[in-house]
């Protein structure tokens, strides 16, 4: 984020606080509930969005060191993620090219050669087939090059490893182009590439992935839903947002932000007096707090269940002392406690869909970001 943007965003909040106004969209909008319950719609989201656009598979610090590997699942794909001797990350299908056994069963480690536990075929960490037991008699004229591991388009940028979750494609867009120049500038400003995971946990929530993302896009609910947790620290119903292609940045000002009008603007720092929420479609949100970043990774398990990885990302420059680790653990717990209030509401909303009591939901003028998010999803489905 450049300094002008930072000052501009703070001035916008001070101005709105002065006028005692929320950040308003021009009109209300309606969101048909078929978006969240139609199996056909879900299939289209998977094929046109989740299997066609860059999605984050891992944070870079999960795969450190030469010859490191990780096994993951994303949607229906078993994935083997390898960092080769040159430090390059590459994702492959974790499926043996002989008769399809799971090639690597361990969650992670360090290896140069991957040997299938079924008949012992092995591949090196460039994905090339290296050995086939009894090859001469059993597999005459085997074209080894045709039996390389199936790779997935992979890129590493801003401290994350991104893939296209589709072995049928080889195209990977430039990630900076995908997220857009403005968000790239922000991610460089916060040095996202130089962060590690201090805390991480995974929860499965019985809600459509879009209901979960929507939950973070407005502050209209803070005073009610979060009255016992975070509400006192944030301004009531104020969350300006900016759109960058399908992605967005939201500003969640702390109650202290309007007081900045009494101070010299050279001393203003947006991260001190606001949280920033980045939504990078389709699978991630990042809540940028004062000294760390909360990373939320959404993986649709089914139309009404989403797996969420929640992690505290911290700058590598902060020493890993017991005291700091305790601090991060405490932060993770505070954020998780507040977020579970949102996630529980999302699951209630999802279970309410079955009643068909609402043919659509209504987004008020405070909730414009939800409408924009859904419009971006529709656009991506249209291609």
Among left, alpha and beta (phi > 0; psi -120 to 50; other), residue 318 is beta
Burial class (CB in 10 A: 0-12, 13-18, 19+), 132: middle
DSSP label of 259: G
DSSP label of 49: I
Angstrom distance (rounded) from CA 215 to CA 37:
17
Q: List C-alpha distances in Å: 381 to 153, 214, 370.
A: 20, 18, 17
> What x-and-dash track marks residues 108-147 binding ligand FES by CB under 6 A?
--------x-xxxx--------------------------
The reply to whether 214 sits near Fe ion by the rule CB under 5 A is no
Least spacing, CB of residue 117 vs ligand FES, in Å: 7
Tokens 């690597």 label which residue? 104
- Answer with the entry of Fe ion, ligand FES, none that 98 interacts with (C-beta below 5 to 8 A by kind): ligand FES
Angstrom distance (rounded) from CA 102 to CA 325:
35
Other CB atoms within a 10 A radius of the CB of residue 84 amount to 17
Assess contact for 249 and 241: CB atoms under 8 A.
yes
Least spacing, CB of residue 224 vs ligand FES, in Å: 55
Least spacing, CB of residue 12 vs Fe ion, in Å: 21
User: Binder to Fe ion among 342, 346, 368, 376 (CB under 5 A)?
Assistant: 342
- Answer with the entry of Fe ion, ligand FES, none that 370 interacts with (C-beta below 5 to 8 A by kind): none
| Nearer to ligand FES (CB atom), residue 101 or residue 225 | 101
> What x-and-dash track marks residues 338-357 binding ligand FES by CB under 6 A?
--------------------
Q: Which of residues 86-105 bind ligand FES (CB under 6 A)?
A: 96, 98-101
- Secondary structure class of 59 (helix, strand, coil): strand
Least spacing, CB of residue 272 vs ligand FES, in Å: 55
Count the residues of the shown chain that bind ligand FES, applying the rule CB under 6 A: 10
Binding site for ligand FES (CB under 6 A): 96, 98-101, 116, 118-121
Binding site for Fe ion (CB under 5 A): 342
């Amino acid at each position: 984020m450049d300094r002008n943007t930072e000052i501009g965003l703070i001035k916008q909040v001070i101005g709105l606080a002065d006028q005692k106004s929320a950040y308003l969209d021009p009109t209300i909008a309606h969101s048909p509930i078929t978006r969240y319950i139609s199996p056909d719609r879900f299939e289209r989201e998977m094929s046109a969005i989740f299997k066609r656009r860059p999605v984050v598979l891992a944070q870079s610090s999960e795969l450190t060191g030469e010859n490191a590997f990780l096994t993951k699942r994303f949607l229906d794909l078993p994935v083997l993620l390898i960092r080769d001797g040159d430090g390059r990350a590459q994702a492959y299908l974790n499926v043996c090219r002989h008769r399809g056994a799971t090639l690597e069963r361990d969650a992670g480690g360090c290896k140069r050669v991957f040997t299938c536990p079924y008949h012992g075929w092995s591949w090196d960490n460039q994905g090339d087939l290296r050995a086939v037991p009894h090859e001469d008699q059993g597999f005459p004229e085997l074209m080894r090059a045709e039996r390389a591991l199936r790779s997935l388009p992979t890129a590493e940028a801003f401290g994350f490893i991104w893939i296209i979750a589709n072995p049928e494609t080889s195209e990977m867009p430039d990630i900076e182009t995908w997220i857009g120049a403005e968000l790239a500038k922000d991610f460089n400003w916060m040095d996202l590439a130089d962060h590690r995971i201090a805390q991480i946990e995974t929860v499965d929530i019985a809600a459509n992935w879009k209901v979960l993302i929507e939950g973070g896009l407005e502050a209209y609910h803070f005073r009610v839903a979060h009255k016992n947790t975070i509400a006192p620290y944030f301004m009531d119903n104020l969350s300006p947002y900016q759109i960058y292609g399908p992605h967005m940045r939201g500003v969640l000002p702390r109650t202290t932000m309007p007081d900045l009008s009494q101070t010299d603007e050279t001393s203003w720092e947006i991260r001190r007096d606001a949280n920033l929420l980045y939504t990078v479609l389709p699978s991630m949100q990042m809540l940028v707090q004062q000294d760390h970043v909360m990373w939320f990774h959404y993986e649709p398990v089914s139309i009404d269940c989403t797996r969420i990885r929640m992690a505290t990302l911290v700058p590598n420059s902060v020493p890993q002392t017991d005291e700091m680790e305790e601090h991060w653990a405490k932060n993770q717990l505070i954020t998780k406690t507040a977020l579970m209030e949102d996630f529980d509401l999302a699951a209630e909303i999802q279970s309410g869909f079955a009643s068909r009591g609402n043919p659509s939901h209504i987004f008020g003028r405070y909730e414009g970001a939800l409408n924009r998010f859904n419009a971006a999803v529709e656009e991506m489905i249209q291609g």
